[in-house]
Structure 1
Amino acid sequence: MGVRDGASPAPPEGYVHRPIVEFFTGLSCPSCMGGPHQDMERLLMEGYRDPSQPYTGVVFHELNGGGVDDLATDESRERMRHYQPGISGTPDAEFDGGYIELGGMTAPGGAVTYENGKEAIQRCKEREDAGINPRHPLQNLRNPFKYVNLKVKQFYEPGVITAMVEVEYVGASSLVPTSLNAEVYAFVTEMDVTAYSLVEEGPVVNNFVFRGYAIKGVTVTLSPGESKTLVGEWRIPSRLPVPVKPQDLVVVAAVYDLDDTSSEYMDSGNMAAVPRAIQSSNPIATAYDGGWSPPEVRNIVVGEGKGGKLRVEAYLDSEKGITSAYLFYSRDSTQVNFTALKMNLTGEEICDDSGVCYAYGPGTAYVEFSPPEGWGGRMVIVAYDSEGVPVCSEYINATASPGGVKEVSGGISSASYTYGGVVLILLGLALLAGKLTSRIKAAWSMWVALLLLAGGVAAAVYPAIGGGKTSKAPDFTVETTEGESISLQDLKGKVVLLDVMSTTCSGCEEVLQIMESLYPDYKDDVVFISVSVDPADTMEVLRSFKEEKGIEWTLASDVNREIFTRYGITQIPKLYIIDGEGRITYQHLGPPKASDLEDALRSTLVGSATPLKVSSLGGGVGLTAIALLAGIMMFFSPCSFPLLPGYISYTVARTGGGGMRKGIKMGLVASLGIFTLFLLLGVVVALLGWTVSRYLIYLEPVIGAALVILGIALLKGLNLPISKITQPIKGALYRALPSRATSGMEGGSGGFFAYGLGYAAGAASCTTPVLLAVIFLGLSTGGFLGALYTFVIFSLAMATLMVLFTALSVAGSERLIKGSRRWMHTIEKAGAVILIIVGIYFIWYFLSIEVL
C-alpha cells in the first residue's frame, strides 16, 4: 500500500479500516446477561473467525455497583470511566472510541443488540470515505480522518506476553497535509474464559476478556509516510480469581487520534470528549491484511519417549517460518492451571541474506517431560511464526500411568468394544434361551434379547469396521517385478518408505516424481517400495510401467491383498514411513509436499520421530468379532434353524432326562459334528481361494447384493425354496439316526455327531453369501491361515450355541420346542435385517475405494 502525499482526500487504494468495539458488561448485570452480552459475543466472534470482516473487539467486565464478576479489574473499571466519567451504566458498547455508542446511561445510538452492532460497525467503516457530513459540513475540515496501517505481533515467553505494534501513518482525508498525534494501546484479551454468573446461576464461557495492557496510551507523533514500532509486555499475574490461560491470549492494538473527538451525529456518539479510534488490528488480522496464512499445527502425536517420559510431537507449517512453539498442559484436576514447556524445533532453517537463521520451515516440534504419576489432563500446542502470528491447536486429552503414557482423547479402545459386545451377545442369548424355555414370560423379553444381540454384534464388529489403532505396521508379503517375494519382516531394522499406488492414478504419478527426487540422497539409508493394490496391474503391466517411468526402486504387487486390507486402504496414493522397529512414523493420503516427506524421513532416520496411531483392519480383535458374528448368523439361518425343533425332540428322547450334565455332553458331540464339517470345508476353500485371492475384491459387490436380496426376501416373506433344502436333510438324518444311535456308543453319541453334521450342512446350504464373506475376509487379512482362522472361529460360535440349546433341551424339553417354533418367525426377521446391513456394508466398502 503506497504512502499518501497528504494532499488528497481520497482513501489510499486497498486501504482497510478496522473499527474496534469496546464492550462493557457484567456477569451480575441482568440487563447485560438478558441478551446484549450474548449478542456482542456473537458479533465479535464473527469478526475474529473471519478476518475478512474487518473489526476487532475487547470486552471489559464491570461490577457496576455490586454483584459478582471475577473477571472485573481496576483497569477495566478505569476504562469504563474513560468513556463514562460521571454516572456509568452497562451494557455499553463504544465503537471506534465512542464515535458511535450503543447502550450506556443514555443509549445515544440505540440499544445494544446484534443488529445495531452490525450497523454501527458498517457506519464506522464509512469514516474512511472523504464525504461531507450534511449535518456538520465543517467537521471534515476540523477532524479529517487519518489513514493508518497497523501491524501487530505477539510473542510468548513463560510468564510474559510481548506485543510489537508498528504504526504507519499514510495521510489524512483533507486537502491540507496533517500530522498524526495519537495514543496507542495494546489490549491483552483472553478467549474461552469460564466464570460464574449470578444472573445465570452458573458458569458462563466468555471471550475477548480484557486482562491487561501490554501498551497503554503511548503517544506517537508522525508525519505522512512515517512509521514507528512500539514494544510492550504484560506479565501474567500468578494470582487471579480466574487463572489466565496463556495459550488463549490475543493482543488487540488500536490507535486513537488525539485531535478527533467527533461523532457520526451529535446524538449517536459518546458525549465525552475522548479520542476516537482510527485503526485497530490483531495478529490474525495482520496476517490476513498482509496476504499470508497463520501457522498450522497438525498431526499431534502423544507417545512414550526416552526413559518412560511423555513425548508430544506435532507437524508445524508456516509461510513465514516458525520461530517458537510451546506445549501447555493442565497441571491439576481443575483443567484451568497450565504449565508451559518450550518445544524443540526441527526442519529446514530459514536464513536472511547475511546468513543469520531466524526460523524453521515446515518441520516438527517435540518435547519430552515427566508428568506426575497418575496424571491426566488436557494439552494444547501454540506455535508462533516469524511475524508474531500465533496459532492454537485443538485440545487433546492424555493420561500417564505406571505402565507408560497413552492418548485417550475421550475414546474407547477397540478391545473394550469387542469385549463389551461379547458380553451383550451372551446376555442376549441367555435371555433368548429363557424366553424359548418359558422360564421368562414377559412379552418384552424377546425384543430385549434381540436388541442385546444386535447391540453386541455392532459393538463387537465396530473395531473391524472402524479399524483398531496401532503404531505397529502390519506385516505383509508382496511380489516384486523381479519375481521375488519381500515381506516387511524381512526388512526389520531398516527404514521403509511404502508407497501404496496403482499405474492408472494421476496422483500416484506425482508421488513417484517426489520419490524420484528423494531417492538419490536416501537410497542407501531407506528402502523405497511402491506397491500396486490394483488387481488389474498384472506383473506384465507393472514391468512395463517400471521401464516406462524409469523407476529405480522396488515395484511390487499386493498379490495377497494384505496391504490393501491390513492397512485399511480405501484411497490411493497413500504413503507410509516405517522405522527399523516396524512402527509407523508417517502417513499421508495423496501427494505430499516433498519437503514434508523429506523432513519425516530425516526425523525417522535420526530416531526423533514419534510412532503414529493408525487404523488397521488386520487385528485379531476385529477378525474374531466378524467371524463370531458369522457363526451366530449361520446358526440362526433360515435353512438350519427349522431343524432345531426336531433336534430338541431327538435330544429329549435320547437323553431320557439324564440331566444337564448329560445334555452338555451330547451338545459337545453335536458341536463336534459342526466343527468337523466347517473345518474340512475351511481347509478346502482356503486352499482353492488363496490362489485367486487377489481377484476376490470384485466379489464384494456380488456378495453384498446377494446378502441384501436374501435379507429382503426373508423380510418380505417371499417363498424361498428353503424346504427343498431342509426336508431332504431332515429325512436323511431321521432315517440314519436309529442305526447310528445304536452303533455301540453310549447314549447315541453317533446320532448327535450326525445331527451336528446335518445342521452345519443345512446352515451352509442357503447362506452361501455369508460363507463367501467370511472367506473373503480371511483371505484378505491373512491368506490361507487367515481364511482357516475365520472358519475355526465361526465354527466354534455355532458349536457353542449347539451346546447351549442341547443343555436347555434337557432342562426345558417341550417348552423349548414350543418356544423355538413360536419365535422362529421373529428370529428369521431379525436375521434378515442383519443380512441386509452386512450386504450394504460390503457394497459400500467396495464403492468407497477411491483414487486421488
Structure 2
Amino acid sequence: MVAGLDFDVLRQRDTWKAFGIGVVLFCLIGYSSLSLFGLTSSTYGTTDEVGEAPDFLVASMNRSGIEDAFADENGMIRLSSLRGSVVVLDFMAVDCSNCHFVQAHIDQNLAEWGALQGEYPIVVISLGSWYGYESFERINSSFGDSASDRHMPWPVVNGGTDVILLENGNRGDLVEYYSAQALPLALVIDHEGFVVAKENTGTPLDGWDSFDSAIEAANAGEAESLRIGIAKSDRSIQGVFIIGLFLGILVYFSPCAFPVLPSYITYYLSLGMREDELRESGKLSGRLPGPFEVGGFAALGQLTFFGVVGIIIFGLSEVINLSGVLHKVAIAIAYLLVVLGALMLLGWTSHLLAFVQRWLDTYQT
C-alpha cells in the first residue's frame, strides 16, 4: 500500500470479474437508455398535423461558389426558394460537440448525395442556432475559413429571432418555430417543403440508415409517406413545466442515473426489515418514512444540487462566454470521474473520507 493506495486489489481475480460485469451492465443500461432517449427525441417537436416546414430568410456567408449559388444579391437565403430540391437542414453551433458528428456525416456523404440520380437534387444548409451567444462573425471564422479544420464546403447561415416568415407578414424565432432548443437537430425537407426525416443526435443507433434512406427517397420523389409535422415550441409556463417534468423522468433512465434506482429501492426496503434494529439503536423514532417522503427527499436533494449548479452557471455567464467553455468543462468532469473512480477502486477515497463515513454511520438509517 502506497499513500493510502492499495494496488494489491488489482491482483485479485474478483476485481476483474466485477470490472467485467460492470462493463457489461453499463453497456446494457447505456444502450437501453440511449434507445429510450432516441425514441423520445425523435418525437419531440413533431405533430400529427403535417404541414410545410416554416419558411425563413437568413443571412449566409455568401462565399463564391457555395452560398452565392442559392443566395440573393444581399447574401440572403430563403427556404421556399429551394422548392424543387431536397434540403438537409443542420441546426448547429460552434460549441455543440455533438453537432460536429452530424457535420462529419454530412462531409462524408456530400459527394455521394450529389451523385444521386433522382429528379430532386440535394442541398445542405447548416444553420447557426445559438445566435444569442455565438455571433455571425464567429460562425464565419469557424466554418467559412477554408484553412479551418471545421471548414464546411456547403452553405452556412445564421439564424435569428426574426428570420421566420409568417403568413401574416410578421417574423418569428427560428429556434421556436423549429423546436430546435436541443442541438443537434437535422431535418430532411422534400422538394415540396415537407419534413420527411428528423434526427436529434450526432451518433444515431442505426448509424444514420433511416436518415440517409429518407434523403434517397426524397431525391427520387418517393418520400411522401414519410412526411411529419414540425411543432412550434410551447414557451408558456405550462409548456415549460411539462417539458421539465418529462425530461426529469427521462434523466432517471440515463446511463449515469439509472444505477441509482436499485440502490434507492434496496435502501427503502431495508428500512422495513431493519425497523426494530433502528428503533433499538435510537436512529428511528415515530413512524417509518413512507415511499413518497423518501422519494421526495431524494428529489429535493437533486433539485438543490442542480439549482446550485444553475445559479453558478448563470452567474458565470455574466463574466465569461460559457458557450466556449462548457464543452471543455464537460470533458474535464469526465476525466475527473475516471480518476476518482480509479482512486475509489484503490481505496484512497475511503481513507480520505473516513470522517464522512463515521458521520454517516451515526445518522444514517
With CA pairs under 8 Å and 6+ residues apart, which has the higher RCO, 1 or 2? 2
Greater fraction helix: 2
TM-score, with length taken from structure 2: 0.41
Between Structure 1 and Structure 2, the one with more strand by share is 1
Q: Give 1 or 2 for the bigger CA radius of gyration.
A: 1
User: When the two structures are superposed, what TM-score results if normalisation uses the length of structure 1?
Assistant: 0.18
